[in-house]
Amino acid sequence: MEISLDSRAPEQIPPIDFRAQLNDEQFAAVTAEPGPLLVLAGAGSGKTRTLTYRVAYLLSRGVKPGEILLLTFTNKAAKEMLHRVQDLTGIEPQRFWGGTFHSLGHRALRIYGDAIGLPKNFTILDADESESLLKQAVEHEDKLFFKDKTNPRPGPLFDVLSLARNTQQPLADTVAKNFPQYTEIAHRFPAFATAYATRKREQNVVDYDDLLEFWLELLIKAPEVAQYFAHRFRHVLVDEYQDTNTLQAQIVDRLAAHHCVMAVGDDAQCIYSWRGANFENIMTFPDRHPGTAIHRIETNYRSTPEILNFANGVLLAQPKGRHFDKELRAARGHAQKPFVVQAMDDREQAEFILKRIRALVEDEGVSLNEVAILYRSHFLALEVQLALSRAGVPYQITSGVKFFERQHIRDLVALLRFVYNGADTQAWQRIAVLLPKIGEKGAQKIYAAAVDHARLTQKNLLDVLNTDDVRSKVAKDARDDWASFCASLSEVAEKMQHARPADAVATAIEGWYGDYLKGQYADYLDRLDELKALVGFAQRFEETQDFLAQIVLLNSETSDRHVDPEAEAVRLTTVHQAKGLEYDVVFVIGLADGQFPGRRSIESGDVEEERRLFYVAVTRARNELYLSYPKVATRGGPGGMLLTPSRFLLEVPTDLYEPLRIKRSYGW
């Protein structure tokens, strides 16, 4: 099947006064002469508007819709832009090649895949199917691999292979940088990847990453196809170029071999390296496309001049020569400077935020929907969630579930509950089914056997779990884990009897469940940080019963499953999830070294992406910005650990913000 070039006459579109509808910077980019163009669009500067009007401008100059390729990161973004183009020009979205890299890669492979030996009737595996096929491939190579609970399960293993494929880095390097918990077994992964690829070929199936890998292969190994695309698409436009991974950037380079490419992005907002985004793509764009004209769009329509001055101060701290110079300029009038707030600890930080939100709503008429609390990692928001819940202030977490509802938190709490109360069968069911090949019925049989044996021998339930009578009821695949599982429960019980709840929690994390966590989740280190936050929470309590009761009560209080998503509520979100959003008032919390930037970034000596993340956080605010940090970490063991303000705060000139002191009464 061939695609014919659009042979229709140039479109008759309504006249558009580009000069009147765009500012000077936007107008220069929209009307730029064809060639390699890099548009550096600062936060809140009208990036989408610029792209939309560029498409309309090309149409007005006689370019046909079928000669324009628009690459985006979400189908929603592509649809939004092309519908705006339709509003401007009357040309229907379906007449363009517009969409995500993956969707357009799929389209190209359906037409030309046979040029690289891919039958046109291939099918695409979804995420679950991909993991299942990988599991089969690995077990064929080593049937015992997944029996070791510290080895990655199929899901985390797929994440490792996927990141290596998208960044085109050796698996060993990918593991060392992103998944250090698997370093000792990384040498096994290449064989697994090869076996997985072989099975896909045998079954004529592809996974999500293949859509990019095979598209690039098509452009490299089938010159006639590459030439066709290069001539067909006179203009290639790429949205959010700073988020491209290595595969995507190479695809763009080959599609734009004739140099009519416009890449729109912002190097200062490149924050997704953990998903494969490569900062070097945007930095080296002019080198790979000689003659690139760089356009800067720096007029910001979102934030006050004072917030933008602070944001510019963040950018000025970047290493010389490792970023594009830019300076956001405000289109709005002056207002107050951002506030920097030092709190004694996480609890005082949360109380300050609660009181300030009440004042904003009651005294200044700010809608709860226009208030956002941003943080680097989920565990930093625990105290804020508790304070808002107790005060009855509605809130929604837009980047995941609430702290005590997160799966690994619930798992560990269930383990603690069972150790404390052996009659808690619900807690037993939750932890027992984490063992290999143990389902609900199997868990019930084991528990019944343990209860009977404990009654007969007049022993404690935990003491009989590892006896022959009980172990005989354990599924064969779980028996290797059973001894460490039972030992861990006993160790936690010992701590509960002779130490404080925080020690019991720490022991539970260090034992069997910590090993389980390592194999179960690719983001093991982040989840481990969250479990350690539970240790900090437990330090408040002297008795285990009070600690466990409080968790149940808080879980009930913080549950919002039945809350109307359209109802007014404060937004809590990680900074990563807040990118692209904006709010009247923004609180950025946990701005201490080791929290933001994170400890691992500091230890690796690379905090530049964290600095860009801070810039993204700051530029979400329209009117008011509060930057807070605790002086003492509640996760640092008994007595806490002293913290220093984030280096990102210390780098900004002091005249760009106002320090705010919290009084003991939480006044200011």
Which residues does the annotation place in the binding site for ATP? 41-48
From CA 206, how far away is CA 199, in angstroms rounded?
Answer: 10
Give the side-chain half-sphere CA count within 13 A for 323: 21
Q: Six-digit token pair at 190?
A: 């290449």
Contact yes or no for 83/71 (Cβ under 8 A): no
**What residues form DSSP beta bridges with 633?**
641
From CA 289, how far away is CA 646, in angstroms rounded?
Answer: 38
* Helices within 521-638 (DSSP H only): 524-538, 544-558, 575-578, 599-604, 608-618
Nearest to 418 by CA among 475, 489, 511, 370: 489
Contact yes or no for 635/533 (Cβ under 8 A): yes
Token pair 């030992």 in the structure block, residue: 487
From CA 322, how far away is CA 314, in angstroms rounded?
Answer: 14
Element (H, E) at 622: strand 621-630
Reading across the β-sheet that carries 339-343, which strands appear in turn? Answer: 395-397, 570-574, 371-375, 583-588, 621-630, 339-343, 658-661
User: Burial, 35: exposed, middle or buried (Cβ in 10 Å; 0-12, 13-18, 19+)?
Assistant: middle
φ/ψ of residue 526, rounded to 5: -65, -40
Sign of the dihedral through C-alpha 585, 562, 530, 548: positive
- List residues forming the annotated binding site: 41-48
Q: CB 390: neighbour CB atoms within 10 A?
A: 14
Pairing of strands 293-297, 37-41: parallel
Nearest to 263 by CA among 297, 230, 237, 288: 237
From CA 225, how far away is CA 231, in angstroms rounded?
Answer: 10
